Amino acid sequence: MNPIKPVIIVHGGAKTITEDKVEANHIGCRAAVEAGWEVLSNGGSAAEAVEAAIQVLESDQTFNAGFGSTLNSEGEVEVDAAMMDGTTLSWGAVAAVQGLRHPISAARRIMEEKPRLLVARSGERFALEHGLAMCSKDDLIAEEQYQEWKEEAEVIDRPNTVGCVALDIHGNLVAATSTGGTTGQPQGRVGDTALVGCGLYADNRLGACSTTGDGESIIPVVLAKTAIDALAGDRHPQEAAQHAIATLKDRVEGEAGCILIDRQGRIGWAYNSQHMAVAYRTDELSEPATFIEKE
Ligand code: GLY
């Protein structure tokens, strides 16, 4: 039997990327893939790899997750994150939490301990009790986001969610997604990111998917599960991704994107926004391939 070759893909959100942000999107997505690849190429698990990749994106103010998240109506960073394991179908999520350096790490610990969605104070308490990195909620506010919120400026480069999918050498697929939500969202609003089937899905029998875009549009079409179901019959992930985005366009309005890896390690992605920052790495590449548009 051929050994399983690891694969990793990340997205930095379905959005419009203005010229001055192109390089930062390439650099950030590349760094995230490199962090995840380091784990996978040393035999680490897909869960560890997606956590490492998303931590990089959560630390980079180019992206709407962790530090640099968009601000809610109260001028606060309030975030959601989730992870799902394709072997066990275990999952974990936090929503509307504040003061977590890496919400994705809380989602992973919850997934490994007991599948649940922990909201607001219960998610924050879980992170604290599990020794995860905490900070003042103001420490997650980037200057650019604060100025936009204060001036109520029209956000052209609307940042929108990060995600990662990985296949490890054991054949396990994991999906993860992390977001600061939408600009000026009401306190406590939660979109698709924390919801299994919508913001992410992983099942080793088919594949794994992370989505990005307008939560209110992604939820009714259960975007991640729609993409995964479209892999049936060994359909290529590129076709499945396009099918999922076409379904969203047919049924609801809104912008979205998705990234997929199937059980054979094939990748695909699609979006209906102007751009989507994507990077991936396979065994056949000597370095990550990065994109802001599908060629
Ligand atoms: N996709 C992120 C959100 O709508 O909250």
Q: Quick one: pLDDT at residue 154?
A: 58
> For the packed helices 103-113 and 121-129, what is the interaxial angle rounded to 10 degrees?
80
Ligand 1 within 6 A of CB of 191: yes
Q: Quick one: pLDDT at residue 157?
A: 46
Give 10-residue mean pLDDT values along the chain (295 residues): 89 94 96 98 98 98 94 94 98 98 98 98 98 92 82 59 97 98 93 98 98 97 98 98 98 96 98 96 96 88
Q: Quick one: pLDDT at residue 145?
A: 84
Ligand 1 within 6 A of CB of 72: no
Domains in the chain: boundaries: 7-291
Pairing mode of beta strands 7-15, 275-282: antiparallel
Q: Which two tokens stand for residue 3?
A: 């050994």
Q: Quick one: pLDDT at residue 27?
A: 98
Is residue 239 exposed (0-12), middle (13-18) or buried (19+ Cβ within 10 Å)?
middle
Is residue 287 exposed (0-12), middle (13-18) or buried (19+ Cβ within 10 Å)?
exposed
- Provide the β-strand partners of residue 94: 81, 118
**Closest C-alpha to 31, from 7, 48, 5, 12:** 12
Choices 3.60.20.30, 3.40.50.620, 3.30.710.10, 1.10.3720.10: CATH for 7-291: 3.60.20.30
Closest residue by Cα to atom 4, ligand 1, is 215
Q: Quick one: pLDDT at residue 153?
A: 57
- List Cβ neighbours of 176 (8 Å cut-off, separation of 6 or more): 50, 51, 54, 81, 82, 83, 84, 104, 107, 108, 163, 164, 165, 200, 210
Catalytic (active-site) positions: 161
Ligand 1 within 6 A of CB of 179: yes
Is residue 171 exposed (0-12), middle (13-18) or buried (19+ Cβ within 10 Å)?
middle
